[in-house]
Chains A and B, each alone.
Chain A
Amino acid sequence: MAAPVIPYSRSIKRKETSMKLSSKARDAIAGYLFIMPNMIGFLLFLAFPVVASLFISAAEWNLITEPIFVGINNFIALFQDSYFWQCLRNTAYFSLFSVLLGIVTSLFLAVLLNNPRVGFSGFLKSAIFLPVIFSTVSVALIWQWILDTHIGMLNHLLGYIRLGPFPWLTDPHWSMPSVIIVGVWRQIGYNMVIFLAALQGVPQDLYEAADIDGARPLHKFWNVTWPMISPSTFFVLVTSIINSFQVFDITTVLTNGGPANSTNTIIMMVYQYAFQNFKMGYASAAAYMLFAIILVITAFQNIVSKRWVHT
């Protein structure tokens, strides 16, 4: 069978085109094509809204009418809004204690379960990790029942040792600690897995050297384990702080921000202003304030990390 005859001029053209693109360029094009679907999603659903909300934060806009440019008025109003400061205080309260408790507890559990002498470690790891994969809403609903003042399981159990009943979710002083406990319970499984991976990566010869030097377990932890897992601790710290500042689902379902706004957080405030009061400009300004706070904290952590994170 004879090969198809390509006209001379077309074959020359093809050759020229293929010669124009180097193999590096072709690879680059292929690379861009591969990341394009994700890039389109990123630009459309993340980058564009982020930039757009910056413009919206300088406007008064209720979704229907034309936005009115108000400059920095939304930010000024925000600084004068006692509700904003209350939500910020609540968020900081939640963040501080949930991050601290979350890291300490998960590190303790990771060290414990990393010990080969601890039995059922596989089962325990799975049990501790389970809350991470549960839906937050269902978790919060279950905790709502557990923490119920009158018919809750926790108060019922405490009743056996003549304690309580405690108004876990119904008293402004108890509500935030209760929310923190639920938040920590939900988060520790994820942190624990990261710590476990880090612990298993610590070279054994360092412990052997410490043993030869006569180091006790606590000394080994502070002088070997802690420095060696510090990059993971730093990662857990940064992500936990960012997540804690964005707390929304647990507080919404568990307490809906109450009682007396004691568990209202910044993201809840943003949601209320944007989607209940339709004040998109004000809500965007609050969202940018939160962004600025998280940015400053993360930058500070990065600077300070050079002093304690082992590289």
Chain B
Amino acid sequence: MKRLAFFVSVLVTFGMAASAAPVTIKYAFWGNPDAIGVEKDIIDAFEATNPDIKVTPVAVAYNDYHAKLLIMIAGGQAPDVMRVDSYFFQDFMKNKALKDITGLIKTNKFDISKLYSVGLQDVQSGGKFYGLPWGTAPLYMFLNKKMFADAGIPLPANNWTYEDLVALSKKLAKGEGENQQWGFGFYLGEINGMLPFVWGAGGDLFDKTRTKFTMNDKAVTDRLDDVLIANVKNNAFTSPFTFQKADDIMRYFSQNKVAMMMGSAATILSLQKIDGCDFAVAPFPGTAKVPAVTVYKSNIVGLSAGTKQEKAAWKFLAYLRGPEGEELYMKAKRMAPTYDDQRYWDLYADTTKPPAKVKEITQEISGKYGRILPLRAGWMEVQTIVMGALQKVVAGQATSAQALTEIAPKVQAVIK
């Protein structure tokens, strides 16, 4: 009898301990060691106010991140909360890896009204929310104010056109050898950098249903030939082979050798660190018919479709992407504001340094000039194929029409 009483008391003790033990959830994100520190700070702040939830960070370098995430999901080890680059969002959606959180947003009255509207588009599929946006920002056009001033040319208005870009580039390009200057810093990195030219020519990567490859339309290929061959050849634009990375262009921009370039919100922070670098940001030049050609991109933080800790995972997600989490991210300058709020811009960028009125311009781009990418499953594979074809054009091995028509069946096979 004594033994039985002892066992019962042990079971009760363990049972009580188990019920008091915090719920553990896994949160996966990408980042370098600095970024991991920021996430740890956010997790610590969350755990301090939510002692019943313990968050285990799963940090992976960006290049391997999505593959490792998929392997974790395939192995039944999916993190409860995960960040996904919007490029992969549709692939994750197609494979039912993310949870529909529309109901959770409504039930918990999570305020999405202050999030940039373009960012919200990137986290939806079929009208349902599969995550919350993380770092919603456009790809700005950076204007080197010193080079414009030296040439006696005023900065372009926000409603400028592609023709203006070419004309300005030709005026600003000059010199040879070590003294050479270029009007526009053009490089072939990701498809993002090409789409403003495609959109400006009235075309797109896919048709409206995103099931047909349309980048080989004549208007588009004519524009691309102009961009890739004519303006590179006459040195108005930099050669994407000579300047292969965004960093190369940024270096020349900061040294007043490139007058205009495309860049992200993170580029603003990098340039602000360079003494004497005076610049402005603007939307990408469009046309009167198609003004919205500035790429606007967000990433997603969502819940795993198979999470067994939905309540705890949602609580953490709401904190992470709510005002508290956003403020901590902004203080750490980890990503551009996802909320349309001056306060966050003040924390993110040094408002005493250029560019002036970044928040206002961002707001204007979001409302008038911004356009989200036509993302779909297989995006990365399509990008590899298209960029390979465009490199052939730059190398003079084919015209845009030839190169893009040649790859059309292959792209079509990917998006079938």
Contacts and interface: CB of A to CB of B under 8 A. Distances in A.
Interface of A: 62-65, 83, 149-150, 167, 169-172, 256, 258-262, 272, 274-279
B404 to A, nearest CB: 14
A166 B391 CA distance: 19
A249 to B, nearest CB: 13
A171 B241 contact: yes
Interface in B223-248: 239-242, 244
Contacts of B324: none
Contact of B70 (A63, A171, A262, A272): A63
A63 B380 contact: no
B97 A258 contact: no
B381 A62 contact: no
Interface stretch (B289-297, B339-347, B392-400): B392-400
Interface string B372-391: 00000010110011001001
B288 interface: no
B242 A170 contact: yes
Interface in B103-137: none
A260 B380 CA distance: 17
Contacts of A261: 388, 391-392
- For this complex, into which size category does the number of interface residues on chain B fall? 20 to 34
B67 interface: yes
5 A-B pairs closest in CB distance: A260-B391, A260-B395, A275-B67, A64-B95, A277-B381
Contacts of B378: 277
A150 B391 contact: no
Contacts of A171: 241
A277 B391 CA distance: 20
B381 A63 contact: no
Nearest to B68: A275
Given A64-B97, A276-B384, 19 more contacts: A62-B70, A62-B91, A62-B95, A64-B74, A83-B385, A167-B241, A167-B242, A170-B239, A170-B244, A171-B241, A172-B395, A258-B241, A258-B244, A258-B391, A259-B391, A260-B241, A260-B394, A277-B384, A278-B67
A196 B217 CA distance: 61
B384 A260 contact: no
Contacts of A169: 244
Contact of A276 (B74, B244, B380): B380
Interface of B: 64, 67, 70-71, 73-74, 91, 95, 97, 239-242, 244, 378, 380-381, 384-385, 388, 391-392, 394-395, 397
A120 to B, nearest CB: 38
A64 B384 CA distance: 22
A5 B50 CA distance: 64
B73 A63 contact: yes
B388 A278 contact: no
A279 B381 contact: yes
A170 B391 CA distance: 11
B70 A149 contact: no
Given A259-B391, A260-B395, A275-B64, A150 B91 contact: no
B247 to A, nearest CB: 11
Contacts of A279: 381
B64 A64 contact: no
Given A260-B395, A277-B380, A279-B381, A83 B241 contact: no
A261 B241 CA distance: 11
Nearest to A83: B388
A274 B70 contact: no
Contacts of B381: 276-277, 279
